[in-house]
Amino acid sequence: MLLQRVLTALILAPLAIAIVLWPPTAIFALLCAVAFLAAWWEWAQLSGLKNRAASIVLLLAAVVVFGLLWWGHAAVEIPVVLLGVAWWVVACLWLRHFAFAAAPTSENRALKLMAGALIIFPAWIALVAIHDREPHGHWWTLLALLIVWSADIGAYFSGRTFGKRKLAPQVSPGKTWAGAYGALVAGTLVAVIGGWLLDVRGTSLVGLAVLACLTVAASIVGDLIESLMKRHAKVKDSGTIFPGHGGLLDRLDSVFAALPVFAAGLWLLGL
C-alpha cells in the first residue's frame, strides 16, 4: 500500500505543481473549481445523499462557484475566508462530540451539507485569493500546499516511528500525537525555508512560522473531520479515483482546512 501511495503521489505532485505555477489565476480558479466540486460530490454522498439528490446539490454548488467566477469574488473574499476559519474552530467541538449527527436522519444530512458548504466554498475562495496576490501569488499558493503535504509526510513517518499515544482514537485510530508533532515540525520547517526564499525576514518570518503551525493544526482537524464523516457513513474512503489514496476528498481534506487559515494569516501578517 505504501508503494502504491508513493507512486500515485509521484504522478500527482508534478501535475499539481504545474497547475499552480503555470496558468493565470482565472484559469487556475476554474481548474480548482472543477476539482473542489468533485470533492463536494463525494461529501454529499458521505452526508447520506443518493445519486439524484447529490446531483442536485452539485448543480447548485456549481451555479454558485461559476457565478463567483463570472461576476468576481474579490468582494466576498475576506468575510467568506473568515467564516471558513470560524468553522474550523467549531469543527474542533464536533470532534469532541464525534457521535453528533451520526444518525442517518434528514436533519443530520442537512447539517452535514451545511458543514460541507463551510468547508468547500471558503477553501476555494482562499485558494484563489492567495493565487491572485501580488507579488508571488503563485509561489505563496505552492508554499501553502507544500506545508500541508510536508506535514502529511512528517505525520506519517513520525507516527510510524514514535507513535504510541492516540490522537483521536474514536475518530481515526491510526493517528497519534507523535504524528501530529512530526507534522508541525515538518510543516513549519518548509514554511520557514519557503518564506526565506520569498524574501521574508525578521519578525515576519517568525510570524510565518507561527502561521505554519496554525495551518498544520487546521489541516489535522480537516483530516479528522473527514475521518469522522467516513465513520458515520461506514466507508473506508470517500472514493476510488486515486489508487492507494481514495477519492478527491481523501486527498483534499487537509488542504480544505488549511487554506482559509493560511490566507487569513497572510493578510494579518501583510505578506
pLDDT tens-place string over residues 78-125: 999 999 999 999 999 999 998 899 898 999 999 999 999 999 999 999
CA distance 254 to 223: 5
pLDDT of residue 10: 75
pLDDT for 54 equals 86
| H helical segments located in the chain | 2-21, 25-46, 51-71, 77-96, 106-131, 137-162, 177-197, 202-233, 248-269
Please state the pTM of the whole predicted model.
Answer: 0.93
- Enumerate residue ranges in the chain where pLDDT < 50: none
For residue 176, give the 3-state DSSP assignment: strand
Query: In whole angstroms, what is the distance from residue 190 CA to residue 150 CA?
Result: 7
Is residue 95 within 8 A of residue 221, CB to CB? The reply is yes
Q: Which three cell numbers stand for residue 146?
A: 507544500
Q: What is the predicted pLDDT for the residue at 67?
A: 85
CB count within 10 Å of CB 114 equals: 12
Q: What is the model's pLDDT at position 251?
A: 84
